[in-house]
């Protein structure tokens, strides 16, 4: 209970709180008070003797206190409280520290949508900026305002003025506009009266509801796990100390996962511009701009990378495309799980190139047909009516447009080929074993393994007697074996049934 000062008179006591903002009448002897109620003059004398400012409000409350003895019936006084507030001061207004009004683009997301629902998985609470970004505008600090106690004396605030907001490195203040501007890319944090910019983002625990999803342009270090259904996007690199669950990941640089990647079939995409290093990848959907290295296993995953490397690891199931090299200990399993491997130009690229070529061929044919029909007419312009001349001119213009489209399609095809072309001859190296059920395609030509093939063995494409063949090379002896192969159907996505049919044809008539 807070200390109080008091003044007593007869059955009443005047109590003033320690902060001098409240004064109360306290009943000391209820029986005596009922026998000899105080008069208004006695109460006023008690208040004045204590030094309390006698305002109109105080007089009104004293009158209300005395009205408690105005009974509805003689001898039946109203209930008298043990304490009754008669005077109340005004507390001081404390100063406000300088604050920042965040720019609209940096206000954390997570507001309800039109239906009132909130997507907590995609809310973002981390403020990411690029160089020269306006972080926000400073709101000035305010002065404290003194209050007034029950004695009529001023009550000072604890501080005279609010503190200024401190700016750390990477942030500058425009004195005219009071805008805070980032001088480097990073993440902005406000802690303990200081605005700071971190060029490397540290998440000490998991990426979950507390951190929210992340969308930054700096290197990111996650000390725990990126939980399922969250997303991390960064233009820099990403390091994860534990694991990545079924989360959407977009990384401009390298991705390093000290644990593993645990996705789900047809789950979110992990897109990385640089290299990926992980202990294992299970049911993951991965696209790497450079190499994927794993230590233990790659199970039932969809992977695209320049190189897929694991000298001691195993690949089982899924579809793996390595533009240049795939090196692994074991490919497939004893259970003959279908495991697809593609090297060189991917089937998707080959299919797109074929589509572009066919489209260009159709447009060129149509252009030639138009010119063949309109040519004789244009040779005799004088015999044509005005309307016939306009039609002929429009048809020739259409032929010119078709020729332009042909050139564009062929250029797109060539650019696609150059972008997807490996920098070296693609090959597969299995150090321990290739099991039945493994299908290997190189530049659209595929072979299937129906028997276990012990390693070390290298699978590549060579010209044998003028014909492109998929061959198996024994590094230790240098022996070369031509493998039965077949051209993949580029009109549609290959299926297991189609590969079975191709395999039967190839076994009868090997390429």
Q: How far apart are CA 508 and CA 510, in angstroms?
A: 6
Q: Please determine, for residue 10, whether its predicted confidence score (pLDDT) is greater than 90.
A: no
Q: What's the pLDDT at 1?
A: 39
Cα separation, 73 vs 344, in Å, equals 106
Residue range 239-267, pLDDT digits in tens: 999 999 999 999 999 999 999 999 887 88
Contact call for residues 241 and 279 (beta carbons, < 8 A): no
Confidence at 29, pLDDT banded by 50, 70, 90 = confident
Q: 270-317, pLDDT tens digit by residue?
A: 999 999 999 999 999 999 999 999 999 999 999 999 999 999 999 999
Q: Provide, for the chain, the percentages of residues in helix, strand and coil under a 3-state DSSP scheme, each rounded to the nearest 5.
A: 25, 40, 40
Report the alpha-carbon distance of residue 457 to residue 392 in Å, rounded: 64
Burial group, residue 60, by CB count within 10 angstroms (0-12, 13-18, 19+): exposed
Give the span between the Cα atoms of 492 and 348, in whole angstroms: 9
Task: Name the residue with higher pLDDT: 21 or 346.
Answer: 21
Rounded to the nearest 10°, the torsion over CA 193, 197, 203, 204 is: -50
- Classify 306 as helix, strand or coil: strand
- The residues that bridge with 454 in the sheet, in sequence order, are 433
Q: How far apart are CA 234 and CA 216, in angstroms?
A: 5
Structure tokens at 300: 């039932």
Per-residue pLDDT, 113: 54
**What are the domain boundaries of the chain?**
4-88, 99-198, 348-420, 427-508
Mean of the pLDDT values across residues 490-506? 48
**DSSP state at residue 161:** B
């Amino acid at each position: 209970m807070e200390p109080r000062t008091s003044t007593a008179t007869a059955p009443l006591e005047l109590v003033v709180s320690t902060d001098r903002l409240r004064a109360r009448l306290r009943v000391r002897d209820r029986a005596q008070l009922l026998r000899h109620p105080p008069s208004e003059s006695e109460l006023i004398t008690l208040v004045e003797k204590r030094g309390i400012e006698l305002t109109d409000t105080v007089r009104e409350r004293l009158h209300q206190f005395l009205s408690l003895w105005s009974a509805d019936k003689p001898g039946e006084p109203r209930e008298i409280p043990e304490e009754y507030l008669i005077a109340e001061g005004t507390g001081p207004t404390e100063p406000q520290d300088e604050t920042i009004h965040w720019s609209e683009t940096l206000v954390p997301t997570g507001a309800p949508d039109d239906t009132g629902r909130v997507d907590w998985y995609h809310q973002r609470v981390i403020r990411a900026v690029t160089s020269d970004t306006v972080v926000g505008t400073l709101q000035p600090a305010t002065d404290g305002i003194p209050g007034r106690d029950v004695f009529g004396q001023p009550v000072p605030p604890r501080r005279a003025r609010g503190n200024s907001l401190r700016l750390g490195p990477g942030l500058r203040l425009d004195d005219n506009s009071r805008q805070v501007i980032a001088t480097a890319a990073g993440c902005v944090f406000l802690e303990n009266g200081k605005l700071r910019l971190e060029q490397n983002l540290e998440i000490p625990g998991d990426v979950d509801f507390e951190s929210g999803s992340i969308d930054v342009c700096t290197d990111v270090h996650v000390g725990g796990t990126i939980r399922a259904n969250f997303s991390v996007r960064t233009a820099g690199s990403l390091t994860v100390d534990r694991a990545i669950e079924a989360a959407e990941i977009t990384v401009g640089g390298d991705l390093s996962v000290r644990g593993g990647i645990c996705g789900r079939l047809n789950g979110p995409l992990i897109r990385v511009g640089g290299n990926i290093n992980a202990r294992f990848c299970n049911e993951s959907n991965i696209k790497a701009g450079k190499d994927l290295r794993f230590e233990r296993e790659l199970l039932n995953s969809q992977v695209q990378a320049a190189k897929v490397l694991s000298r001691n690891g195993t690949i089982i199931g899924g579809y793996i495309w390595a533009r240049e090299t795939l090196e692994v200990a074991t490919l497939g399993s004893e259970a003959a799980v279908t495991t697809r491997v593609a090297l060189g130009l991917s089937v998707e690229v080959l299919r797109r190139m074929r589509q572009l070529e066919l489209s260009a061929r159709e447009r060129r044919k149509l252009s030639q047909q138009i010119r063949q029909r309109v040519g004789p007419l244009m040779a005799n312009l004088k015999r044509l009516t005005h309307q016939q001349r306009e039609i002929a001119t429009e048809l020739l213009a259409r032929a010119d447009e078709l020729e332009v489209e042909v050139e564009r399609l062929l250029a797109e095809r060539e650019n696609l080929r150059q972008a997807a072309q490996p920098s070296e001859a693609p090959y597969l190296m299995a150090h321990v074993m290739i099991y039945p059920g493994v299908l290997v395609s190189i530049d659209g030509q595929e072979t299937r393994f129906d028997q276990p093939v012990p390693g070390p063995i290298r699978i590549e494409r060579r010209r044998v007697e003028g014909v492109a063949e998929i061959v198996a090379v024994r590094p230790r002896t240098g022996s070369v074996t031509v493998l039965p192969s077949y051209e993949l159907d580029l009109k549609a996505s290959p299926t297991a049934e189609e590969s079975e049919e191709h395999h039967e044809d190839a076994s009868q008539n090997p390429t």
